[in-house]
């Protein structure tokens, strides 16, 4: 499967934009201090104040990727991947039920569903285009990228791919430890386009032949291992570099994805 990347968006507390991520991947410092919440500028101020952290991350990285690609979001198919959606909201609902409060807030409930962030995105940009939301535990980002590639190639259309994960809170954090909010978005097209950043060649193997690609930097490797969406850091490292290269991503036990990256 061959795709072209036309725009990239990244957000985490340490890497609050694609330029910051590129600088860090080139050996720069991690962002210091409190950078605040993701801006989520596509949402009106009132909606922004009520938005979950997951939604804010999604809207921030998708806006950055589409702005870089100079694409309009209104008619663009989307794929959203996340291992857990909004686990902070899930914890709040579980805590309320455990305390005997069965009058669950309708707002909290609709924010808990897995495609809530995708819904907020569609409303914010006025999109009625097809949208898929999926989860595959630690392989969610890989599964989402494969789904986005399949959609782009089968329908001969540009696709916006977004992977995001935020930490669990409360007792659930002990069972499923995830560090830092993390989001990445890629504007993908099946044909080269003006401003294309790189060509991606995706090849799937039904077995895991070798270890996944890792980050040489200790801090980045910790992010990669402890947030499902940060598993794409080796791909981002290749997209940030000037030379071609390959990266491996496993979806154990289903198999392994090899991505060859060639700068445009």
Could you tell me the pTM of the whole model? 0.93
Question: What average pLDDT score do residues 65-75 get?
Answer: 95
State residue 191 phi and psi, 5-degree precision. Answer: -125, 150
Q: Per the domain annotation, does 248 fall within a domain?
A: no
The pLDDT of residue 1 is above 80: yes
User: Percentage of the chain surpassing pLDDT 90?
Assistant: 67
Q: Is the dihedral of CA 247, 15, 27, 138 positive or negative?
A: negative
Banded model confidence at residue 32, pLDDT cuts 50, 70, 90: low
* CATH code of the domain containing 121: 3.40.47.10
Residue 46, in any domain of the structure:
yes
Q: What is the pLDDT of residue 51?
A: 81
Cβ atoms within 10 Å of 104's Cβ, excluding its own? 13
204 within domain boundaries: no
Q: How confident is the model at residue 57 (pLDDT cuts 50, 70, 90)?
A: very high
For the segment 121-143, the average pLDDT, to the nearest whole number, is 94
Domain interval for residue 188: 2-197
* Ordered strands of the 2-11 beta sheet: 131-134, 78-81, 159-165, 182-189, 2-11, 198-205, 255-263, 245-251
Q: What is the mean pLDDT of residues 20-24?
A: 93
Average pLDDT for the chain: 91
222 occurs within a structural domain: no
Name the band, by pLDDT with cuts 50, 70 and 90, for residue 40: confident
In a domain, 251, yes or no: no
Given a cut of 90, whether residue 261 has pLDDT beyond it is yes
Return the closest-CA partner of residue 64 out of 32, 40, 96: 40
Number of domains in the chain: 1
What is the distance of C-alpha 185 from the center of its chain?
5
With bands split at pLDDT 50, 70 and 90, how would you rate the model's confidence at 252? Answer: confident
Q: Please compute the mean of the pLDDT values over residues 117-136 and round it to a whole number.
A: 93
pLDDT digits (tens, 9 = 90+) for 156-209: 999 999 999 999 988 889 999 999 999 999 999 999 998 899 999 999 998 888
pLDDT value of position 193 = 92
Q: Average the pLDDT over each of 28-42, 85-99, 196-210 and give the range with the smallest value.
A: 28-42
Query: What is the token pair recorded at 237?
Result: 């490292």
Q: What is the 3-state secondary structure (H, E, C) of the chain?
A: CEEEEEEEEEECCCCCCHHHHHHHHCCCCCCCCCCCCCCCCCCCHHHHHHCCHHHHHHHHHHHHHHHHHCCCCCCCCEEEECCCCCHHHHHHHHHHHHCCCCCCCHHHHHHHCCCHHHHHHHHHHCCCCCEEEECECECHHHHHHHHHHHHHHHHCCCEEEEEEECCCCCCHHHHCCCCCCEEEEEEEECCCCCCCCEEEEEEEECCCCCCCCCCCCHHHHHHHHHCHHHHHHHHHHHHHCCCCEEEEEEECCCEEEEEEEEEC
């Amino acid at each position: 499967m061959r795709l072209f990347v036309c725009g990239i968006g990244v957000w985490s507390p340490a890497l609050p934009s694609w330029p910051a991520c590129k600088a860090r991947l080139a050996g720069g410092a991690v962002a210091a201090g409190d950078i605040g919440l993701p801006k989520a500028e596509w949402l009106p101020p009132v909606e922004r104040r009520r938005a979950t952290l997951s939604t804010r991350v999604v809207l921030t990285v998708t806006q950055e990727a589409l702005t870089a690609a100079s694409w309009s979001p209104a008619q663009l198919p989307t794929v959203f991947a996340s291992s857990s959606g909004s686990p902070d909201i899930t914890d709040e609902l579980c805590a309320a039920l455990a305390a005997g409060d069965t009058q669950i807030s309708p707002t909290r409930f609709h924010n808990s569903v897995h495609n809530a962030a995708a819904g907020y995105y569609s409303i914010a940009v006025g999109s009625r285009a097809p949208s898929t939301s999926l989860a595959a535990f630690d392989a969610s980002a890989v599964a989402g990228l494969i789904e986005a590639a399949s959609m782009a190639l089968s329908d001969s259309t540009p696709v916006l791919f977004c992977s995001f994960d935020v930490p669990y809170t409360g007792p659930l954090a002990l069972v499923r430890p995830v560090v830092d909010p993390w989001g990445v978005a890629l504007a993908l097209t099946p044909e080269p386009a003006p401003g294309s950043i790189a060509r991606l060649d995706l090849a799937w193997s039904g077995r895991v032949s070798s270890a996944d690609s890792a980050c040489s930097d200790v801090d980045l490797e910790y992010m990669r291992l402890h947030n499902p969406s940060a598993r794409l850091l080796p791909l981002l490292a290749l997209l940030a570099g000037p030379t071609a290269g390959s990266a491996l991503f496993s979806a154990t036990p289903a198999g392994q994805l090899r991505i060859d990256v060639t700068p445009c």
